[in-house]
Amino acid sequence: MKELLTEIERLAALVGPNLYLQAAIIALVFILLGKIADLVLCRMITRITSKSATHVDDSIVSLAHRPIFLSFVLLGLGLAAQHIEMAAAPAKITLGILKTIAILIWHNFARQLTVIIIKAANRSSTSKLVQSGMVVLLENIIKIVLLAVAIYFAFLAWDIDVTAWLASAGIVGLALSFAAKDSLSNLFAGVSIIADAPYKTGDFIILDSGERGIVTHIGLRSTRILTRDDVEITIPNGVIGNSKIINEAGGPSEKHRIRIAVGVAYGSDIDNVIEVLEGVAANHDEVCSEPSPRVRFRRFGDSSLDFELLSWIARPVDRGRIHHELNCAVYRAFIDNGIEIPYPQRDVHVRTMPATN
Among 172-176, 235-239, 257-261, which range has the highest average pLDDT? 257-261
**What average pLDDT is seen over the chain?**
83
- Enumerate the β-bridge partners of residue 223: 218, 235
* DSSP state at residue 356: P
- 171-to-158, 167, 174, 178, 344 alpha-carbon distances in Å: 24, 6, 5, 11, 73
**Ramachandran assignment for 277, one of left (phi > 0), alpha (psi -120 to 50 degrees), beta (any other):** alpha
Sheet with 256-264: strands ordered across: 256-264, 305-313, 294-300
DSSP 179-245: HTHHHHHHHHHHHHHHHH-SS-TT-EEEETTS-EEEEEEE-SSEEEEE-TTS-EEEEEHHHHHTS-E
Q: Are 259 and 309 in contact (CB under 8 A)?
A: yes
CB atoms < 10 A from the CB of 219, how many? 16
Q: What is the pTM of this model?
A: 0.59
Tell me, what's the pLDDT at 4?
Answer: 59
Q: Please name which of 239, 215, 242, 244 lies closest in space to residue 227, comparing C-alpha atoms.
A: 215
Query: Could you tell me what percent of the chain has a pLDDT over 70?
Result: 85
Torsion of CA 283, 285, 286, 288, to 10 degrees: 60
Confidence category of residue 109, pLDDT binned at 50, 70, 90: very high
Which secondary structure element, helix H or strand E, spans residue 327, and what is its range?
A: helix 319-336
Domain 256-336 grouped into CATH 3.30.70.100: yes
Comparing 162 with 288, the larger pLDDT belongs to 288
Taking the C-alpha atoms of residue 17 and residue 140, their distance in angstroms, rounded to an integer, is 53
Which secondary structure element, helix H or strand E, spans residue 308, and what is its range?
A: strand 305-313
Residues 327-354: b if buried by 16+ CB within 10 A, e if exposed: eebbeebbeeeebeebeeeeeeeeeeee
Taking the C-alpha atoms of residue 287 and residue 319, their distance in angstroms, rounded to an integer, is 11
Tell me, what's the pLDDT at 134?
Answer: 62
Tell me, what's the pLDDT at 209?
Answer: 81
Taking the C-alpha atoms of residue 191 and residue 179, their distance in angstroms, rounded to an integer, is 20
- Enumerate the β-bridge partners of residue 299: 306
Q: Mean per-residue pLDDT for 65-73?
A: 89
pLDDT at 6 over 90: no
pLDDT at 357 over 70: no
Q: Are 134 and 118 in contact (CB under 8 A)?
A: no
pLDDT at 8 over 50: yes
Q: Mean per-residue pLDDT for 300-314?
A: 94
pLDDT at 301 over 80: yes
Q: Are 258 and 322 in contact (CB under 8 A)?
A: yes
The domain 192-247 is placed in CATH, from the list 2.102.10.10, 2.30.30.60, 2.40.50.140, 3.30.930.10, at: 2.30.30.60
Per-domain boundaries in the chain: 2-174, 192-247, 256-336
Q: What is the pLDDT of residues 192-239, one digit of tens each?
A: 887 778 888 888 899 888 888 999 988 878 899 999 888 999 999 888
CB atoms < 10 A from the CB of 56, how many? 17
pLDDT at 241 over 70: yes
Tell me, what's the pLDDT at 129?
Answer: 45
Q: Please name which of 261, 254, 251, 260 lies closest in space to residue 313, comparing C-alpha atoms.
A: 254
Taking the C-alpha atoms of residue 62 and residue 250, their distance in angstroms, rounded to an integer, is 42
Taking the C-alpha atoms of residue 68 and residue 318, their distance in angstroms, rounded to an integer, is 59
Q: Mean per-residue pLDDT for 67-71?
A: 90
Confidence category of residue 251, pLDDT binned at 50, 70, 90: confident
pLDDT at 128 over 70: no
Q: Mean per-residue pLDDT for 13-34?
A: 78
pLDDT at 12 over 70: no
